[in-house]
Structure 1
């Protein structure tokens, strides 16, 4: 195989992986958006509420890095703001590091004078993401 042909095959394989990943992530985002509609809550694909900065110090797993919040469902829950979202983070150092994706929920009071926010609750990362959203919502009820 010539170097030119090898490079072409490598670029083509990379493009296929990127396209498949984009389609899968778009489908997941659309499913979470639909779930937000069923729950009569709001949806944001990105961390427009800047939750990552607020939850980083409350994160129950020590030594995480590159914390990213996305697929955010949010709304009022009584006198509180409730958030459900997917968190992607890296755990471990150098060669043993791995990327983890899990759904979480977080509640903070509407009136900040009433006290602090609740602890961050993580979903079961063995479940598919939509099932994690549903399980966390069921725990609340």
Structure 2
């Protein structure tokens, strides 16, 4: 009985110390992973902000184009195609009820009629707004 008592007297503190060491290591590793995830999230946020800024600058430059101001949609379509360098990116210009430029389609293709577009609500000329995702007519 004494031998059993001595074994338990030695094992219980050993198990407690091992458990504490494991928990401390787990907690420290978890804190380190959370720190790295936070840094990665911030870095991705900066990259995304930079890409939105580049896209906004491109759109402001295209909006100031004289060919758009004179409603020469074919010339603007060619200009927009040359200016858009990102893969899987396209530019759409809409007027009330219809698209007038869509660089996703081949040049000169028939452009779709548009139903009521809710993504235009509340935006004024000269204002930039990043909207929520919506299903496009052609891109789906």
TM-score, normalization: structure 2?
0.33
Q: Which structure dedicates a bigger proportion of its chain to strand?
A: 1
Say which structure is richer in helix: 2
